[in-house]
Amino acid sequence: MGVMSRRVLPACGNLCFFCPSLRARSRHPVKRYKKMLAEIFPRNQEAEANDRKIGKLCEYASRNPLRIPKITEYLEQKCYKELRNGNIGSVKVVLCIYKKLLSSCKEQMPLFSCSLLSVVRTLLEQTRDEEVQILGCNTLVDFISLQ
């Protein structure tokens, strides 16, 4: 189901105990949604979010609704962390993902509405930055209009 994080056999061809390729952690598969989420966020804060990868994530979420709570839990924690660090660019990416989820996963909205409203509440109440509050208001308006 998942993608292997590293090759199982080392490049040298020998099977030694100390080889990092044979550690237990290197053989763990990476969940597809975690890989997609990691690829969405840009490396530098000035870059824009990748809309194509956000679309892929939303398509994956609509096909696998049982993964939506895990995806939104990750997004919620990422948003809180980036707010604490002052990275507004990543907060914008999180809200962009939520907006795409709202439009593409209308049937599964009960699975992520609580998480979205918690993020919006935090943006409106606990931040002093007007730009972030405006983003929270716009996201709340989008959520209400799609109800």
The CA–CA distances, whole Å, from 27 to 16, 23, 60 equal 15, 7, 24
93-139 tens-digit pLDDT? 999 999 999 999 888 888 899 999 999 999 999 888 899 999 999 99
Q: Give the global pTM.
A: 0.77
35-59 tens-digit pLDDT? 888 888 877 766 677 889 999 999 9
CB 111 within 8 A of CB 65: yes
